[in-house]
Amino acid sequence: MAAAASGFAASLPRPSAERTTSYSFSTSLHSQIRIPYRPLQTRTLRGGSALNPRCEMGSENSVQTVKIGSRSLSSSALELLKTSAADRYTKERSSIAVIGLNVHTAPVEIREKLAIPEAQWSQAIGELCALNHIEEAAVLSTCNRMEIYVVALSQHRGVKEVTEWMSKVSGVPVSELCKHRVLLYNKDATQHLFEVAAGLDSLVLGEGQILAQVKHVVKVGQGVPGFDRKISGLFKHAITVGKRVRSETNIASGSVSVSSAAVELALMKLPEPSYSTARVLVIGAGKMGKLVIKHLVAKGCTKMVIVNRSEERVAALRKELKDVEIIYRPLSDMLACAAEADVIFTSTASESPLFLKEHVQTLPSVSPELGNRLFIDISVPRNVEPCVSDLEAATVYNVDDLKEVVAAHKEDRLRKAMEAQTIITEESNKFEGWKDSLETVPTIKKFRAYAERIRASEVEKCLSKMGDDISKKQKKAIYDLSMGIVNKLLHGPMEHLRCDGSDNRALSEILENMRALNRMFDLETDTSLLEEKVRAKVERTQR
């Protein structure tokens, strides 16, 4: 469900309801079903704070916000280090956070404002990482969600900056964003992405397209400054989780996709549950459109008109679906084709509506048996103007209306989702172990630098005592000898500071080894890691 996104200077919805232990899915316009696939305990943030923190509005004391598109950065972050409660702020560890909204927490009219087209993901990462307290970032934007994953140097300040950035690029007020925001930290954020990749957080439980979209985030992020070690590691691990869940459970068996749900919804609304007599029009032959066409064929549709910018993709579909009559028409013929259609599916990346109210009201009426012309719009931003639904001769359904169909397929997969949770918990613990072990990296670097200073100093003393007659070969032998001794001495301590999440050593043991080395070799400094990162960020941007 690749997001057909509007220019994201005017496209970002509001963050949504903070996470609880289960989601509500509409089975109709008025009833709901609870989906309790989460552990039963209520999630809390580290430190005991609730999962629905007060939305902070801008104030006189807030950190100066970076202008969108600009790489300028003031020293306000460093000033805060000096004036705020130092023990609470400068010793704070960086956090992984997810800020965004999805189909469970925000309606499509909000999500489409926040949609970020793939072509602008790299730009968005750059602007996010230019914020004072954001070190790394990634964007996951689909038709069902727009989520920003960040490594924040300061948890609450970072979230505040990202929320303000979202408000500025979308035009949605911060207070409105907070009504729909998903906001999760650290292990909760990790588990959320793993559930997303596994298909547990999708509108259609178990759907597989989201895993391909998570993979695409990694592909697009490669080489982009800001898509760095922690965020890259998080998304790569999420891909592993998604593959494991699909190979070790049956969650994807018999599952429906958004495209198939759209085809089924239209079938439910036809007077006769058959596509044999309905005149079908599909606008768009991209990934989503292709899936719609295939599901239409599976449901017995043998003739359809496809409107697309070019005929190339339609010709490929004709070869693949030889028993189906597929008629290609260019985009310029869209309204003429719509006048002859009973059911119209739209799934394009257009940033503005294709069907306006004034266009649709001029179309001739469909047969009395059908009643209304059906528009099934699964694009985000939407291809059909919302006010088209005000017309008596037209009925419009968008991606949020698919919940009615999805509910009918959900019960069996809920049992399979419980199996997936075991895998997700296991992989989440592995990732957290790997992430937390990164705390030892500064100690490893300092310890190596400490040993190198001693080695270089002693080699220099040795060479000075040996005089000028020593040959290059002898110098190299002395150098190699010193490096060999240091590397062998460092090997043991280094191994006890590393953790990839797959060994059996407890993280507490690794961190204790780190603290012991810091004490023995006086490796700790007075400047906190957070302060070092903020200072380096300011210096970089002021060059």
So which residues are the catalytic ones? 143
Q: Is 344 helix (H, G, I), strand (E, B) or coil?
A: strand
Which residues are 137's β-sheet partners?
150
B/e letters for 238-258, b = 16+ CB within 10 Å, e = fewer, are bbebbebbbeebebbeebbbb
Q: Which two tokens stand for residue 200?
A: 């547990």
Pairwise CA distance, residues 91 & 80, whole Å: 13
Residue for token pair 């010793």? 91
Residue for token pair 């985000």? 380
Which residues are 145's β-sheet partners?
102
- Report DSSP state, residue 442: H
Q: Is 377 helix (H, G, I), strand (E, B) or coil?
A: strand
Report residue 21: phi and psi, to 5°.
-80, -5
Q: Within a 13 Å sphere around the CA of 532, how many CA atoms are in the beta-carbon half?
A: 10
Q: Where are the beta strands (DSSP E) in 251-388?
A: 280-283, 303-308, 325-330, 343-346, 373-377
Q: Name the nearest CA neighbour of 397 among 388, 406, 410, 409.
A: 388
CB 99 within 8 A of CB 182: yes
Which residues have C-beta within 8 Å of that of residue 168, sequence separation ≥ 6?
65, 68
B/e letters for 26-36, b = 16+ CB within 10 Å, e = fewer, are bbeeeeebebe
Which residues are 24's β-sheet partners?
34
Which residues have C-beta within 8 Å of that of residue 66, sequence separation ≥ 6?
72, 73, 127, 130, 131, 132, 161, 165
- Establish whether the linkage from the previous residue to 386 is cis, with ω within 30° of 0: no
CA distance readout (Å), 146 to 258, 426, 494:
17, 26, 40
The secondary structure element, H or E, covering residue 358 is: helix 357-360
CB 143 within 8 A of CB 399: yes
Pairwise CA distance, residues 372 & 341, whole Å: 11
Pairwise CA distance, residues 294 & 361, whole Å: 30
Pairwise CA distance, residues 141 & 214, whole Å: 10
**298 CB burial (10 A radius; 0-12, 13-18, 19+):** exposed
